[in-house]
């Protein structure tokens, strides 16, 4: 068993290392643009329940970032996958609602919530069953089905999947600020699903089908890199109040993490969330590669705000294939 | 159980409002319909043409069909939206072909597309991909030797496009517009694929019954489509249990799924006695859900609901009437 584990850790590290070297080479030869900021900022907020004053908490947290949202059109992209009674699968509606209200109060011209679920074609059924429809109605916030929005072609200058273009929804392309709102979860194909993987949901089903199988065929991790290079999220509000461990993203177990993570860099956000899960982000292939050009992963380039980073004593449970991720 | 006059009147009024909304949403220049916004789409245009046609006298003129043909690719298949760079989409192609056949368009105008559809192969048809599923990719429970149709080229087959293509091919077979040795083979293979991909307790989702040992739950719209495609196999236990599950879902809060349920269940009304009462209740519920059609974002949902609320419709896109088996 121990030998098997060592082999997995070695194999996983080798795979991540090879990918990282390839990305470094592309950056050094100018074939991949290095988009990393000199300094990213991440704030960890303590929140033990969805019933608390989330609006107030978010407002205090967002003020740490000096965001200028005046006159901007904001798109919130929660993780709305499927409704499974009693399971914490989706970004909690109360957090999405609180984020919408808070961003409006900070001067945003408009806040729209948009999602394109990958398997469930009836987006408005998930919206109703999850409780998000009711939450948004009560706050007078509009929702758009990104699977059926008008689509536009976006050329991929440098592609990890081999695709030369991506079809993307007009709403995403015309928003001034895209906020990724993932649920902190493990993922049976990608290891973890956080703010970068969450952007799979902006790829329109009308062009790619349900599920967005072309992206799976081209490699989930490579697709995550392409999507995030094409339309990077400007900000992240991650729902880590209750996360999911084990067989995520649908059939895992709930895990009380008691955190909301805010960040102005999706890579930095995912690095911090992964560490909060007790997992090593550098062993998640796509995160290790993203940290070479899309955003910051190293602690010296991530300014930590609000609460300190505390790695849990017991890491999130993962499937055996991802045992090497545990710190 | 009979529907009361008041209920029928409510449904008729709801349908009138839906049709009015469809006419209002017709794109001014292109003449067709978009899911939302102004981008002409094959699915909303097909469904809207069917919904509006059932309230008028046939035949439909070629001018009225122009927006549908505007989404056709040079290879004869349809893309999901009108844009010269979009690729062929097998779901969109099947729904367009169904529409053209229902509207009685001359077969010369679409027989090439039927042929392309018939000969399309998904990824699983490659032995290499099958090998991958047998050796490496064993966490998703499926038999890759049983394949149907993908959404787009170079991807796997999935339940919704396979179902809609099977319905289109079955319709073409009944109209005797297709004479190809492959027809029976593909009909049988597609049917086997649907049966293989059913969820353990009945019903279908996109096509993953079990992943990593966990049974996934069925989706109402996918189940309705698969059941419509398997109408001539209603004696099979999988079909029967799935129909039972679908009929139990009439409290669904979504007009989109409920409309698919009604259209699919209509095809089974002569097979099982419990279908008709469910249809009455489901139509009543649907009429209540679509009271404000201007609030419904997706035009396809409006067209589907209009079709589902027409108890006499001959234009049910999910129903192939004559039984050839």
DSSP characters over B84-114: TTPPBBHHHHHHHHHHHHHTT--GGGTHHHH
State chain B's mean pLDDT as an integer.
91
ipTM: 0.94
Query: CA A225: distance to chain centroid?
Result: 12
Alpha-carbon span A149 to B250, nearest angstrom: 28
Residue of A nearest to B160 (CA): A210
CA distance A205 to chain B (A): 9
Residue from B217, B226, B286 whose CB has the most chain A CBs within 10 Å, to mutate: B217
Contact residues, chain B, for A150 at CB < 8 Å: 34, 36-39, 81
Give the residue from A156, A78, A171 showing the smallest Cα distance to A117.
A78
Contact residues, chain A, for B30 at CB < 8 Å: none
> For residue B323, what pLDDT is reported?
47
The series of mean pLDDT values per 10 residues for chain A, 327 residues long, is: 54 64 68 88 97 96 96 98 93 98 98 96 97 98 98 91 96 98 96 97 97 93 96 96 96 96 98 98 96 96 92 93 92
Mean pLDDT of all residues in B235-240: 96
**What range defines the domain where residue A183 resides?**
2-325
For β-strands A235-245 and A151-155, DSSP reports them as unpaired
Burial of B69 (C-beta count, 10 Å sphere; 0-12/13-18/19+): middle
**B58 pLDDT exceeds 70?**
no
pLDDT digits (tens, 9 = 90+) for A240-297: 999 999 999 999 999 999 999 999 999 999 999 999 999 999 999 999 999 999 999 9
Q: Is A144 on the interface with B (CB under 8 A)?
A: yes
Cβ atoms within 10 Å, residue B50: 25
Could you tell me which residues come within 8 angstroms of residue A134 by beta carbon, excluding any fewer than 6 positions away? A93, A128
Q: Three-class SS of residue A78? A: strand
pLDDT digits (tens, 9 = 90+) for B293-320: 999 999 999 999 999 998 776 668 888 8
Q: Is A211 on the interface with B (CB under 8 A)?
A: yes
Alpha-carbon span B80 to B65, nearest angstrom: 16
Alpha-carbon span B322 to B325, nearest angstrom: 9
Q: Which residues in B225-249 are b (16+ Cβ under 10 Å) and which e?
A: bbbbbbbeeeeeebbbebbebbbeb
Give residue B324's pLDDT band: very low, low, confident or very high (50, 70, 90): very low
Alpha-carbon span A247 to A103, nearest angstrom: 33
Contact B150, B163 (CB under 8 A): no
The residue written with tokens 């194999």 in the block is A11
Query: CA A266: distance to chain centroid?
Result: 7
Q: Is A236 on the interface with B (CB under 8 A)?
A: no
**B52 pLDDT exceeds 70?**
yes
Alpha-carbon span A214 to B188, nearest angstrom: 26
For β-strands A191-193 and A183-187, DSSP reports them as antiparallel
Residue B154 gets the label, from left (phi > 0), alpha (psi -120 to 50) or beta, of left
Could you tell me which residues come within 8 angstroms of residue A179 by beta carbon, excluding any fewer than 6 positions away? A74, A75, A76, A77, A99, A103, A233, A234, A235, A236, A237
Mean pLDDT of all residues in B20-49: 95
Contact residues, chain B, for A251 at CB < 8 Å: 212, 214
This prediction has a pTM of: 0.93
**B167 pLDDT exceeds 60?**
yes
Mean pLDDT of all residues in B89-104: 96
Query: CA A202: distance to chain centroid?
Result: 11
The residue written with tokens 């064993």 in the block is B138
Contact B147, B122 (CB under 8 A): yes
Cβ atoms within 10 Å, residue A99: 28
Report the length, in residues, of chain A.
327
Of B80, B139, B221, the CB nearest to A122: B221
Contact residues, chain A, for B159 at CB < 8 Å: none
Q: Three-class SS of residue B212? A: coil
Q: Is A310 on the interface with B (CB under 8 A)?
A: no
For β-strands A253-263 and A235-245, DSSP reports them as antiparallel
Mean pLDDT of all residues in B132-143: 77
Query: Could you tell me the two tokens for B43?
Result: 């699915």
Contact flag B254-A128 (C-beta cutoff 8 Å): yes
Q: Three-class SS of residue A267? A: helix
CA distance B161 to chain A (A): 9
Alpha-carbon span B139 to B186, nearest angstrom: 27
Q: Which residues in A103-128 are b (16+ Cβ under 10 Å) and which e?
A: bbebebebbbbbbbbbbbbbbbbbbb
**B325 pLDDT exceeds 80?**
no
What is the total count of domains within chain A? Answer: 1
Alpha-carbon span B198 to B207, nearest angstrom: 7
């Amino acid at each position: 068993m121990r030998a098997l584990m060592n082999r997995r850790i070695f194999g996983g590290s080798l795979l991540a290392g090879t990918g990282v070297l390839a990305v470094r080479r592309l950056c050094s030869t100018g074939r991949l643009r290095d988009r990393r900021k000199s300094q990213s900022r991440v704030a960890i907020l303590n929140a033990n329940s969805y019933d608390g004053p989330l609006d107030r908490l978010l407002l205090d947290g967002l003020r740490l970032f000096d965001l200028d949202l005046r006159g901007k059109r904001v798109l919130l992209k929660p993780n709305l996958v499927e409704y499974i009674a009693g399971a914490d699968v989706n970004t909690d509606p109360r957090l999405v609602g609180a984020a919408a209200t808070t961003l409006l109060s900070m001067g945003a011209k408009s806040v729209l919530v948009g999602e394109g679920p990958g398997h469930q074609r009836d987006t408005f059924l998930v919206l109703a069953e999850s409780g998000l429809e009711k939450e948004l109605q009560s706050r007078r916030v509009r929702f758009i089905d990104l699977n059926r929005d008008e689509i536009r072609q976006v050329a991929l200058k440098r592609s990890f999947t081999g695709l030369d273009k991506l079809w993307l929804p007009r709403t995403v392309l015309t928003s001034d600020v895209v906020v990724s709102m993932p649920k902190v979860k493990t993922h049976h194909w990608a290891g973890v699903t956080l703010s970068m993987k969450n952007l799979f949901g902006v790829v329109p089903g009308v062009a790619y089908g349900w599920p967005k199988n072309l992206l799976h065929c081209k490699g989930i991790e490579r697709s995550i890199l392409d999507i995030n290079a094409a339309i990077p999220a400007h900000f992240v509000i991650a729902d880590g109040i209750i996360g999911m461990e084990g067989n995520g993203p649908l059939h895992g177990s709930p895990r009380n993490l008691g955190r909301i993570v805010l960040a102005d860099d999706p890579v930095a956000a995912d690095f911090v969330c992964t560490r909060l899960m007790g997992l090593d982000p550098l062993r998640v292939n796509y995160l290790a590669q993203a940290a070479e050009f899309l955003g910051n992963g190293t602690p010296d380039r991530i300014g930590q705000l609000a609460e300190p980073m505390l790695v849990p004593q017991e890491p999130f449970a993962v499937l055996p294939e991802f045992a090497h991720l545990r710190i | 159980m009979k529907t009361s006059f008041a209920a029928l009147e409510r449904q008729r009024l709801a349908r009138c409002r839906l049709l009015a909304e469809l006419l209002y949403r017709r794109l001014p220049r292109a003449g067709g319909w978009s899911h939302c916004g102004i981008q002409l789409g094959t699915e909303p245009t097909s469904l809207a043409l069917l919904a509006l046609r059932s309230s008028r006298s046939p035949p439909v003129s070629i001018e009225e069909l122009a927006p549908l043909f505007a989404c056709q690719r040079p290879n004869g298949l349809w893309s999901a939206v009108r844009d010269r760079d979009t690729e062929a989409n097998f779901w969109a192609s099947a729904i367009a072909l169904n529409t053209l056949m229902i509207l009685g368009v001359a077969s010369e105008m679409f027989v090439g597309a039927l042929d392309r559809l018939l000969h399309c192969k998904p990824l699983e048809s490659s032995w290499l991909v099958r090998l991958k599923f047998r050796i490496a990719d064993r966490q998703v429970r499926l038999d890759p030797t049983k394949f149907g149709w993908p959404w787009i080229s170079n991807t796997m087959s999935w339940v919704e496009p396979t179902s809609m293509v099977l319905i289109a091919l079955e319709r073409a077979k009944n109209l005797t517009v297709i004479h190809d040795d492959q027809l029976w083979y593909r009909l049988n293979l597609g049917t086997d694929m649907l049966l293989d991909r059913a969820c353990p307790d009945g019903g279908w989702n996109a096509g993953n019954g079990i992943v990593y040992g966990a049974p996934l739950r069925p989706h109402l719209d996918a189940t309705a489509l698969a059941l419509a495609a398997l109408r001539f196999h209603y004696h099979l236990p999988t079909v029967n249990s799935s129909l039972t599950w679908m009929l139990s879902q009439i409290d669904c809060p979504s007009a989109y799924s409920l409309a698919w349920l009604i259209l699919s269940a209509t095809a089974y009304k002569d097979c099982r006695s419990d279908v008709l009462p469910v249809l009455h209740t489901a139509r009543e519920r649907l009429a209540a859900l679509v009271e404000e059609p201007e609030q419904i974002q997706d035009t396809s949902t409006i067209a589907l609901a209009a079709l589902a609320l027409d108890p006499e419709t001959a234009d049910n896109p999910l129903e192939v009437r004559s039984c050839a088996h």
